[in-house]
Structure formats: C-alpha cells, structure tokens
C-alpha cells in the first residue's frame, strides 16, 4: 500500500476530506504523515484525532533553505512517502525540492487555473465579478499554481451569493475533487505528457 503525506498550514478541511476518503476505502493508501509549519494550526488536532503522525517544521528554525529541505526529505524518506499532497500549505517549496519530487507533488487551488492564481483565489474571483470559477487539482512545478492540470470542476457564482456562501460551495467541491485526483494518481491512471495530463480509466 502506498503512503501519502499531507502538507498543511491551516484549518485542515481538505486534510479531513482526505482522511475520510482513506477511512472509507475511496483512497486505497495509508495516510502516513501530516507536515505542518504552524504550531497552532487546527489541522494538527485533526491529524492527531485521525491517528496520523504529525511533523512540525518551522522554516525559521533552519539557517538555510537547503537545511529546511533536508529536514523535510528526511521525514518523507523515513515514512516511505509516495505522494505529497499540498492542502493549504503556505510555505513556498524550493525549486530543488520540487525537482526532487517532480510528478509526486499535487496541489489544490480554489479557482479555475490559470485564472486567479495565488493565495486568495476565491475572494479574487468573487470580487472581480466572475460568474464562473471553480477548483483545480494540479501537479506542482517550479512556478506558483502552474503545473499540469489533473482535474477541474466549475462552481457558478449564484445570484444572491455572499463571499461566504460562494466559498462554502467551492470548499465542498474541493473535498470531493481532491480525493478523486489522489485516487487516480495512486491507481496509476495519470500520465503527464508535456503540460497535459492524460487520464486512463
């Protein structure tokens, strides 16, 4: 059985969705590790309740990016991690780290990439007045929110939506789409061809 590591910094709603999918057998893998960079992040308590090993790594504790990478890599190798799942991890991974794990790091973004890149995709789409946004799961490369797209799903901005109601619907789609994408990866159904991802069912 393959091993997953989730990297997260915040509330952990996608972590919880992934943990549920593992528990129900939707994702056939071992959720082996949570990597978090914020000591007070709610995701840590969620991981402990799910009996998932927690590793806390704070960037400021290391004198260089290379030392930080070495610490991360040590934990990943110790736990024999096959797939790294970014779920609201607010540290930018180094080019060297991304290159080492190329094709084995995926991320979820709350907008239809390439639109509304960055940390505030939901708010920016809503404030812009977009009628349609959504969710993207993609492989991670050296650029922000740029790697080959695995899955996307649209979310419409409905009449009468508030930023909060729209955000809630986007998150609901995230919690369904991310486990689906992880499952496709683990089943060997994703093949990257340049900037495209081919899904074989």
> Would you please indicate which residues are annotated as catalytic (active-site) residues?
109
The H helix count followed by the E strand count for the chain is 6, 9
**Rounded Cα distance, 35 and 193, in Å:** 29
**Rounded Cα distance, 16 and 30, in Å:** 14
Answer yes or no: are the C-beta atoms of 167 and 201 closer than 8 Å.
no
């Amino acid at each position: 059985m393959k091993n997953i590591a989730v990297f997260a910094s915040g509330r952990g709603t996608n972590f919880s969705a992934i943990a549920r999918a593992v528990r129900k057998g939707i994702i056939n893998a071992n959720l082996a590790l949570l990597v978090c960079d914020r000591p007070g992040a709610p995701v840590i308590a969620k991981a402990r309740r799910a009996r998932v090993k927690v590793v806390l790594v704070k960037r400021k504790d290391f004198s260089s990016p290379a030392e930080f990478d070495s610490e991360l890599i040590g934990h990943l190798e110790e736990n024999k991690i096959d797939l790294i799942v970014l779920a609201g991890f607010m540290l930018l991974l180094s080019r060297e780290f991304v290159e080492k794990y190329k094709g084995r790091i995926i991320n979820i973004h709350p907008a239809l990439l390439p639109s509304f890149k960055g940390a505030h995709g939901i708010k920016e789409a809503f404030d812009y007045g977009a009628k349609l946004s959504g969710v993207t799961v993609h492989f991670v490369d050296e650029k922000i929110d740029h790697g080959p797209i695995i899955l996307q799903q649209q979310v419409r901005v409905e009449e009468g939506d508030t930023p909060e109601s729209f955000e809630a619907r986007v998150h609901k789609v995230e919690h369904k789409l991310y486990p689906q994408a992880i499952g496709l990866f683990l089943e060997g159904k994703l093949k990257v061809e340049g900037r495209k991802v081919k899904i074989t069912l």
